[in-house]
Structure 1
Amino acid sequence: MRVGMIGTGAISHKHAQAYKNIGYRITVCTDVFPEAGQRFAQQYGCEFVPTYEEVCSHPDVDYVDVCTFPDFRLQPIEIAAKNGKAIQVQKPISTNVETARKMIETAKAGGVVLGVVSQHRFDDSTIFVKKAIEDGRLGKILQADAYVKWWRSEAYYSRSIKGSWAVEGGGALINQAVHQVDVLGYLVGGVAELYGQWQLAARHKIESEDVINALLKYKSGATGVIQASTAFWPGYSERIEIHGTKGTCIFTGDKLTTWDVDGDSGDPAPVEKEVMSGSSDPMAIPLTPFERQFLDFGNAVKNNTTPLVSGEEGLKALEIVEGVYQSCRSGLPVKF
């Protein structure tokens, strides 16, 4: 597959490394800072072009990979759809639900595949637990929680756009914990009702939340908690805890670290203790899940099928995030 890259910041290098490992080729790139884009092009052996429109219409591109801030999503999709190019965007799908829905509609109208990078669905832990839940090994799910108690430095938030509502859509929940929101929805199902509380700029000089909590009631009847922060020094590995009538599983970082299931007789759980986490370093994350997601997306592009993390799936996670923010602002529960 030939990939056109829009945005050449930190995460784009993870993408580039993953593409190299799976045999995909970045053919063209662009960046609003030309010098950064030209350095990226030189490092990865691709062509630099001045505008995103040129990437989205380039003849040597099978799909476009958008690694920009989340306020820039609909614009490249509109050009890519006109040119019949599939497009994949970095999480979150957008800063708001309204724009995300327009993105999905635009891609459908243009007949192109749209995907959202949410690579933790491709962790060994998630793959195993997804099947285990479907097979009934945990029994009826009673509680499903996510804890993302991370740390980000003052330097991380030194630019005014970081943690801003207009450019990033918010703070710790939409930018850091959106991965865990997605995994909870993928494993446990949709949310029926939630209630949120936050602290704006509790530790950092930002517009949005760096501490937030939400109580959830899932459509299945299970309950849950989401806690997200970038204010807890030195940062702790994120956890997902799922409790069923037959037992409990716990994810820590990218690994399944606990599998306590009464009378379990299925395939052995891939329990590990060495984990990788972005708890204090955003780039301390493994490549394998990216590689798996990119292969999945590439196959969807080739066959014009739906990738595992489609635009609709990315929208589901954003709807929960936006619901929590709405509850925090109003002081009232939000029902779906």
Structure 2
Amino acid sequence: MTDPETETPIGVALIGAGMIARTHVVALSGAASARLEAVVSRRPERAEPLAQHYDGAPPRFTADLDAVAADPAIGMAIVATPPSVRAEVIGTLARAGKHILLEKPVGRTLAEAEQVVETCDAAGVTLGVLFQHRVRAPAVAAARRAAAGGLGRLGLVEIAVPLWRDQSYYDELGRGTYARDGGGVMITNAIHSIDLALSLTGPVTRVQAMTATTPLHRMEAEDFAMAGLHFANGAVGAFIASTAMFPHRTESITLHFEAASLRLDKDSLEISWRDGRREVEATGPPDGAHASEARKAGWHRAVIEDFITAIRHGRPPLVTGRQALSAHRLIEAIETASREGRPVDLPG
């Protein structure tokens, strides 16, 4: 097998210079397999300070997506634009043969997400989705434990996303709207936990739900969602997510098996055995502001490097665009169940 450190780094274009762009630039600085060639922004001059966070030769900053798509030095693009402009951007890149690593969500709606997947399939380019929660140490440990057996049958699932966002978060133009983001807390914030949970539990087959906008925020879409879930494997579960829960707490997923319960968040995996034993795995470091930024960039780097390896060796990336549709289907089912006041069945 080829040593990745001896291969020529792949040229990368970062499309979008918003809140998450700095994390991507820091992540790419530490990725030996990648070289940041360009940053595309509607206002390139405002994006130029990102260069100070990149250790290599400064990338060029431009608003010309077509020129970047036509550049043979660029082999892949990281798309981190608002969801409202995703489909057009991805179409341009895919037609030019650029592989695409996409920040969540894939689209504002399930139909739009499905179209993005079809666009990339038709163009023959690899589409990956940046669900970095899957590479966190507790998540990796939980997946290993669940796959190893010995836990018995899964009976109950708890998915909790208890977040706080000040009104200023939603005062940004378009945030929390259906036109720009496709929705509120579920598609913007909770989709990471939804994806991770489904990767551990398998699919949901029936949903009963309620969504709402609390008096604590002025916004179009929901800042609160809860649902009862029935899984294909016979388990049941509860999902709750909100950006109106103060103080802000970390997301968690708890899986109750016959022999033990696994509780994971971003810092640790706790295993409580029915015989009284308790184990703690993958305990994270103290999460100061500096440490948090470095860890976040590290998670992004792991997904980027996996994506590049997938391109080079012709295998699927960690999360393909088609796999990411499972989270979109569940979100749409929760929205429909709440709006219509009835249970909604999903394909198994």
TM over 0.5: yes
Q: Secondary structure at the match of 1:65?
A: strand
Q: Secondary structure at the match of 2:310?
A: helix
Q: How far apart are the structure 1 equivalents of 2:141 and 2:276?
A: 14
Question: In the alignment, which residue of structure 2 is the partner of 1:248?
Answer: 261
* 1:261 CA drift (Å): 2.4
Question: In the alignment, which residue of structure 2 is the partner of 1:132?
Answer: 145
> Does 1:184 pair with 2:197?
yes
* 1:156 CA drift (Å): 1.1
- Count how many residue pairs are aligned between Structure 1 and Structure 2: 330
* 1:110 CA drift (Å): 0.9
Matches within 5 A, 1:218-233: 218-233=231-246
For residues 105 and 305 of structure 1, do their structure 2 counterparts lie closer, same or farther at Cα, with a shift above 3 Å needed? same
Structural RMSD (CA):
2.2
> Does 1:320 pair with 2:330?
yes
On the 8 A contact 2:157/2:238 being kept in 1, the answer is yes
Q: Counterpart amino acid of 1:170?
A: G
Deviations 1:277-315 (A, max 9, x none): 99xxx9696332212111110111112321111001111
Task: Give the alignment partner of residue 340 of structure 2, picking from 330, 333, 336.
Answer: 330
Q: Secondary structure at the match of 2:194?
A: helix
For residues 17 and 56 of structure 1, do their structure 2 counterparts lie closer, same or farther at Cα, with a shift above 3 Å needed? same
* 1:324 CA drift (Å): 0.8
* 1:52 CA drift (Å): 2.2
Q: How far apart are the structure 1 equivalents of 2:223 and 2:288?
A: 18
Matches within 5 A, 1:51-200: 51-200=64-213
Task: Give the alignment partner of residue 18 of structure 1, picking from 20, 27, 36.
Answer: 27
Task: Give the alignment partner of residue 281 of structure 2, picking from 245, 263, 270.
Answer: 270
Deviations 1:44-95 (A, max 9, x none): 4101122222222222211011111122222122112221110111011111
Q: Counterpart amino acid of 1:152?
A: R
On the 8 A contact 1:146/1:240 being kept in 2, the answer is yes
* 1:11 CA drift (Å): 0.6
TM-score normalised to the size of structure 2?
0.89
Q: How far apart are the structure 2 equivalents of 1:162 and 1:78?
A: 23
* 1:276 CA drift (Å): 5.1
More divergent stretch after superposition (70-79 vs 290-299): 70-79
Unaligned runs of 5+ in 1: none
Q: How far apart are the structure 2 equivalents of 1:261 and 1:127?
A: 19
Unaligned runs of 5+ in 2: 1-9
Q: How far apart are the structure 2 equivalents of 1:29 and 1:150?
A: 31
Q: How far apart are the structure 1 equivalents of 2:20 and 2:113?
A: 21
For residues 132 and 201 of structure 1, do their structure 2 counterparts lie closer, same or farther at Cα, with a shift above 3 Å needed? same
* 1:41 CA drift (Å): 4.6
On the 8 A contact 2:211/2:225 being kept in 1, the answer is yes
More divergent stretch after superposition (20-29 vs 172-181): 20-29
On the 8 A contact 1:137/1:261 being kept in 2, the answer is no
* 1:228 CA drift (Å): 0.6
On the 8 A contact 1:199/1:209 being kept in 2, the answer is yes
Q: Counterpart amino acid of 1:52?
A: L
Deviations 1:116-136 (A, max 9, x none): 110011111111111211121
Matches within 5 A, 1:204-223: 204-223=217-236
Task: Give the alignment partner of residue 307 of structure 2, picking from 267, 272, 297.
Answer: 297
TM-score normalised to the size of structure 1?
0.92
Q: Counterpart amino acid of 2:237?
A: G
For residues 315 and 321 of structure 1, do their structure 2 counterparts lie closer, same or farther at Cα, with a shift above 3 Å needed? same
* 1:319 CA drift (Å): 0.9
On the 8 A contact 2:22/2:53 being kept in 1, the answer is no
Q: After the TM superposition, which parts of structure 1 deviate over 6 Å for at least 4 consecutive aligned residues? A: none
* 1:242 CA drift (Å): 0.7
